[in-house]
Amino acid sequence: MAMMGFSNSGTALSAPAALIVLGVALIGNSSNWNASANSEAPSPCVAYGDSIDVTDFGARGDAMSDNVQAFKEAIAYASKCSVATITVPAGTYEFIPRGPEAGIYLGSNLSLRGDGAGRTILSVSDRNANSNFASLFWARNQDNISISGITFVGNNVPIYDGNGRALNSYGSALIIAIDSGDSMPELGTPRDLAHFIVEDCSFRNFNAAAWISVINYSTTFKIDDVRLIDNEFVSYEKNAVNPSSVGYVSNAISIMGSMTSADGLVTKIVVSGNSINARYIKGGIAIWSGVLGATIEGNTIVDAGSAAYIPNNRGAYAINVYNNAYYHDAAHADGAPMGGTRPDDVHIKGNNILHPRSCGVYVASAGRVWIVDNVISGQSDPEYESLPKGAIAVSQPSDAVVTGNKISSSFIGLAFYRGNHGVIRSTGNTVDNVMPRGFAIYPAR
């Protein structure tokens, strides 16, 4: 299964040719970052203290005014004047893209703090045709970021390539990324990044490959310590771009390291307490190649890839752990390794998964994975359709532990696919009202 596919929007990221992913992230404050990234000259530093209010820079939460300029000025000021916090009072702040745009860049060492999800709303306007941000906010080569108490709303406007095909590389809310090189020095020099927290936020109506994307394009540096905690994700109709193609993934959260290097890792990931309504997208949480050490715990994921709205079942997984560091092009043997590492040391624990279409939890070609104490109900795809199916489906791990899970009202309970390596240990799982197969072992896929 070729699950690499994120489409190329043409935004300069210096990504590997096999994969271009664009997403979103928020930041503020670093000597490694140049205020010219937002093309604004910061105001002289004054005695604001450790925090500034974005309305002091002209932001207006009136659901009408364009706030792109005001946020750029506040971020540039925070970077220049070592301000730790930007506060965003209650209100609806519009951001108006004028064509396909990259988005707003932020620096390091900043907390972006709203007045509470549902009270502080940052909304991408849909008033201009063919206009969207690749990501509303970016954290590129920046770190030590905290974001809390904000609702982010996308505009669900597709951007098309020259052949009239919609791209899923536009329409993210937040991207955290290390570039592969110094192609845009104003965004900072690629380096090791650490410490990101996004908590108590709400995300709605985005249409990119990932609404929150953490991606490492570097073959040398790593991203460490990312925590996505107690957030809400609500999908809307047509949020999945090109949903009939397996190459166009659509997840609320995506975490990916380098596909071509064993050193370009993403480490120590915590995705906990989130609520994801994935009815109009394909999946909830995706962990890809180059991720070492991830805890996915206590999340609720509902209706991943619902058959009522998504015309193709491939990739309809609530939680997906997949090694995508393989070539699938004419220049290489199909399935040849690209040099990246498979995801390893992944703990999937205590999640509540309702009505997943293909799989509640799908693990393929990963390293060590623990699937423990999850409750999964309503898996609906039959086994005879394409690609693995099951409330829990595991294919060729190096070492998987599947224990204490409760599975009910599904088409297939536990599905294990034989491979040429790896051990699967399954104990203490409960399977109830599962027809026709509560447990099945299949040939390798």
Separation in Å, CA 187 to CA 9, 36, 166, 173, 184: 19, 8, 28, 18, 6
Give the amino acid at 83: V
Q: What mean pLDDT do residues 262-277 have?
A: 96
Instruction: Quote the pLDDT of residue 23.
Output: 31
**What's the pTM value of the predicted model, to 2 decimals?**
0.90
Provide the pLDDT confidence category of residue 16 given band limits of 50, 70 and 90. very low
Taking the CA atoms of the chain, what radius of gyration do you get in angstroms?
21
Share of the chain above pLDDT 90, in %: 63
The continuous run of DSSP H or E covering 362 comes out as strand 359-364
End-to-end CA distance of the chain: 8
Share of the chain above pLDDT 70, in %: 84
- Whether 403 is covered by a domain: the verdict is no
Structural domain total, the chain: 1
Q: Which residues of 70-150 form beta strands (DSSP E)?
A: 85-88, 91-95, 100-101, 104-105, 110-114, 120-124, 132-133, 135-140, 145-148
Provide the pLDDT confidence category of residue 32 given band limits of 50, 70 and 90. low
Instruction: Quote the pLDDT of residue 49.
Output: 79
Q: List Cβ neighbours of 77 (8 Å cut-off, separation of 6 or more).
A: 42, 43, 45, 52, 57, 83
- The answer on pLDDT for 40 being more than 60 is no
Instruction: Quote the pLDDT of residue 12.
Output: 36
Helix (H, G, I), strand (E, B) or coil at 56: helix
Instruction: Quote the pLDDT of residue 408.
Output: 95
Instruction: Quote the pLDDT of residue 441.
Output: 72
- Whether 427 is covered by a domain: the verdict is no
Domain with 122 in it? 35-357
Q: What is the pLDDT of residues 298-313, one digit of tens each?
A: 999 999 999 888 877 7
12 and 183 in contact (C-beta within 8 Å)?
Answer: yes
- Whether 433 is covered by a domain: the verdict is no
C-alpha to C-alpha distance for 8 and 203, rounded to whole angstroms: 23
- The answer on pLDDT for 324 being more than 60 is yes
- The answer on pLDDT for 323 being more than 90 is no
The enclosing domain of 170 has a CATH number of: 2.160.20.10
- The answer on pLDDT for 212 being more than 60 is yes
Q: What mean pLDDT do residues 248-259 have?
A: 92
- Whether 431 is covered by a domain: the verdict is no
Structure token pair of residue 207 = 């249409």
- Whether 368 is covered by a domain: the verdict is no
- Whether 80 is covered by a domain: the verdict is yes
- The answer on pLDDT for 5 being more than 60 is no
Helix (H, G, I), strand (E, B) or coil at 228: strand
C-alpha to C-alpha distance for 363 and 400, rounded to whole angstroms: 9
- The answer on pLDDT for 350 being more than 90 is yes
Provide the pLDDT confidence category of residue 417 given band limits of 50, 70 and 90. confident
Q: What is the pLDDT of residues 228-237, one digit of tens each?
A: 999 999 999 9
- The answer on pLDDT for 375 being more than 50 is yes
- Whether 395 is covered by a domain: the verdict is no
- The answer on pLDDT for 171 being more than 70 is yes
Q: What mean pLDDT do residues 118-129 have?
A: 96
Q: List Cβ neighbours of 228 (8 Å cut-off, separation of 6 or more).
A: 198, 199, 212, 253, 270, 271, 272, 274
Q: What is the pLDDT of residues 42-97, one digit of tens each?
A: 578 886 778 999 999 999 999 999 999 999 999 999 999 999 999 999 999 999 99
Instruction: Quote the pLDDT of residue 239.
Output: 94
- Whether 17 is covered by a domain: the verdict is no
